Amino acid sequence: MSESQKKVIVGMSGGVDSSVSAYLLLQQGYKVEGLFMKNWEEDDGEEYCTAAADLADAQAVCDKLGIELHTVNFAAEYWG
C-alpha cells in the first residue's frame, strides 16, 4: 500500500460474505470502514431477522476487526 492508505467502505450485514471481505481487505493493507444500511423498521414481523439483530451482528464483526461502523437508515426510501 502507498503512504496514503486507500480507504474502502464495505457494506456490512454481519454475515460471512461481508465479514470475510472486510477481513481480507484489512489483510491487504486497506483502511476499511463498515456501512450498515437499515432498510426496514423493527415492527415488520418476527418471521425475519430484525434490523437491530442485523446491526448487532455487523457491529460485533466490526468490533472484532477493529474497524468503524457507520449506519444509515433507508427504511423510508426503501419502502416509501
Q: Looking at the domain assignment, is residue 31 inside a domain?
A: yes
Q: Looking at the domain assignment, is residue 61 inside a domain?
A: yes
Q: Looking at the domain assignment, is residue 6 inside a domain?
A: no
Task: Compute the mean pLDDT over every residue in the chain, rounded to the nearest whole number.
Answer: 90
Angstrom CA distances, 47 to 44, 74, 79, stand at 9, 21, 18
Range of the domain at 61: 12-79
Task: Give 32-53 pLDDT, tens digit per residue.
Answer: 999 999 987 766 566 667 888 8
Q: Looking at the domain assignment, is residue 58 inside a domain?
A: yes
Q: Looking at this protein, which amino acid is placed at residue 47?
A: E
Q: Which residue has the cell 457491529?
A: 59
Grid coordinates belonging to 36: 450498515
Q: Looking at the domain assignment, is residue 18 inside a domain?
A: yes
**Residues ≥6 apart with Cβ < 8 Å to 45:** none
Task: Give 53-62 pLDDT, tens digit per residue.
Answer: 899 999 999 9
